[in-house]
């Protein structure tokens, strides 16, 4: 019997053309691109790489401050406040490094942080009265462990906001009332982050090396390639799936859907439009390909459940 031969010469596999190379996308960070999520201007990663090798950042604050001053304008708000605190303190203690200066402030900021956290934890604990017994017991256990950490001056492991919220989500995930789950998580999300409160930044960084503290003042602003569809979910590793986000927003998202990222950052749709407008202006100067912007609109709209709908009508004007 003759084998049946299937002709394949007319079969075509349409693979989307990659609009920008990694180098071209990275080059856009030279033009004051705002972060897709938070809207703050990003630092080119090559500049940050050069700062990594600067030994002066390990020295006294009076040595480190002049190196960081050119980047003060792109620091996130809390980091800028801490940097100004360093500038003020270094005038009085010029020989102390960043770690020594933070250690001087640690106790007072730690008390302020615990006060804020305690109020939020008490509000979460209140829900034990209306939760199912099993869920209430799990919540009580979590809160007891958490209080042991925050009220211990030298805890074995420092409190982690991200881990706490993750554990809380697992405890309440089977609740029938979606409204109740959202209420509890909304309260938990008010817990201070080092990017939200100076006291949280001081406590988190006071144990770190002076050079690390210095770099942490600008690291959140470093531009990165955000995988819109996470790699763990088979997201592509090229500009068809890349957006430009600051290091802080990229790291904060982890592998969560964009819809969850928007919950944490309600202004993200607005900020995404600001970035798109900037990219359109660069496109008109021949610095960014139109195909990248059109693809970005399509992917964001799809992955955000249409919460992000970019207006790119000016792209072809």
The pLDDT tens digits of the residues spanning 202-245 come to: 999 999 999 999 999 999 999 999 999 998 888 899 999 999 99
Give the Cα separation of 142 and 125 in Å (integer). Answer: 10
9 pLDDT band, cuts 50/70/90, is very low
- Does residue 314 sit in helix, strand or coil? helix
Residues 171-201: pLDDT tens digits? 999 999 999 999 999 999 999 988 889 999 9
* Residue 317 predicted with pLDDT over 90: no
Whether residues 105 and 184 share a domain: the answer is yes
264 falls within a domain: yes
Residue 290, judged by CB atoms within 10 A of its CB (0-12, 13-18, 19+), counts as middle
pLDDT, position 11: 40
174 falls within a domain: yes
pLDDT, position 154: 81
Among 105, 294, 120, residue whose Cα is nearest residue 213: 105
In the chain, the largest separation of any two C-alpha atoms, in whole Å, equals: 95
Average pLDDT, the chain: 92
Name 48's Cβ contacts closer than 8 Å, sequence gap at least 6: 215, 218, 219, 222
pLDDT, position 57: 97
Whether residues 181 and 119 share a domain: the answer is yes
188 falls within a domain: yes
277 falls within a domain: yes
Which domain-ending residue is among 200, 231, 249? 200
Please give the share of the chain, as a percent, with pLDDT higher than 90.
Answer: 84
For the segment 120-139, the average pLDDT, to the nearest whole number, is 96
Name 101's Cβ contacts closer than 8 Å, sequence gap at least 6: 61, 85, 86, 89, 90, 93
157 falls within a domain: yes
33 falls within a domain: yes
Whether residues 179 and 227 share a domain: the answer is no
Whether residues 193 and 268 share a domain: the answer is no
Which domain-ending residue is among 149, 167, 200? 200
Name 135's Cβ contacts closer than 8 Å, sequence gap at least 6: 171, 172, 174, 175
Number of domains within the chain: 2
Whether residues 244 and 289 share a domain: the answer is yes
pLDDT, position 274: 98
Which domain-ending residue is among 200, 231, 248? 200
290 falls within a domain: yes
Whether residues 262 and 195 share a domain: the answer is no
For the segment 54-82, the average pLDDT, to the nearest whole number, is 96
* Residue 302 predicted with pLDDT over 80: yes
Range of 265's domain?
22-44+222-316
- Does residue 226 sit in helix, strand or coil? strand
269 falls within a domain: yes
Give this prediction's pTM. Answer: 0.81
CB 109 within 8 Å of CB 199: yes
Whether residues 143 and 234 share a domain: the answer is no
* Residue 85 predicted with pLDDT over 50: yes
């Amino acid at each position: 019997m003759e084998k049946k031969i299937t002709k394949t010469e007319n079969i075509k596999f349409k693979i989307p053309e990659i609009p920008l190379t990694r180098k071209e996308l990275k080059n856009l960070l030279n033009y004051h691109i705002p972060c897709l999520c938070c809207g703050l201007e990003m630092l080119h990663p090559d500049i940050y790489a050069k700062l990594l090798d600067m030994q002066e950042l390990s020295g006294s604050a009076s040595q480190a401050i002049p190196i960081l001053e050119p980047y003060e304008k792109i620091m996130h708000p809390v980091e800028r406040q801490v940097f100004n605190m360093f500038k003020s303190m270094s005038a009085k203690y010029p020989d102390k490094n960043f770690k020594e200066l933070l250690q001087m402030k640690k106790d007072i900021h730690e008390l302020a942080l615990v006060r804020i956290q305690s109020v939020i934890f008490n509000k979460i604990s209140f829900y034990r009265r209306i939760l199912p017994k099993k869920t209430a017991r799990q919540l009580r256990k979590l809160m007891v462990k958490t209080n042991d950490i925050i009220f211990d001056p030298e805890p074995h492991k420092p409190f982690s906001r991200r881990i706490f919220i993750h554990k809380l989500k697992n405890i309440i995930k089977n609740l029938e009332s979606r409204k109740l789950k959202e209420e509890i998580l909304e309260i938990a999300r008010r817990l201070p982050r080092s990017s939200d409160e100076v006291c949280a930044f001081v406590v988190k960084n006071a144990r770190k090396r002076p050079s690390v503290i210095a770099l942490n003042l600008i690291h959140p602003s470093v531009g990165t390639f955000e995988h819109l569809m996470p790699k763990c979910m088979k997201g592509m590793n090229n500009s068809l799936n890349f957006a430009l986000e600051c290091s802080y927003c990229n790291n904060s998202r982890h592998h969560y859907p964009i819809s969850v990222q928007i919950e944490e950052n309600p202004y993200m749709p607005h900020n995404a439009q600001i970035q798109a407008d900037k990219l359109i202006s660069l496109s008109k100067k021949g610095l960014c390909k139109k195909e990248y912007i059109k693809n970005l609109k399509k992917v964001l709209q799809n992955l955000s459940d249409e919460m992000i709908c970019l207006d790119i009508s000016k792209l072809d004007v």
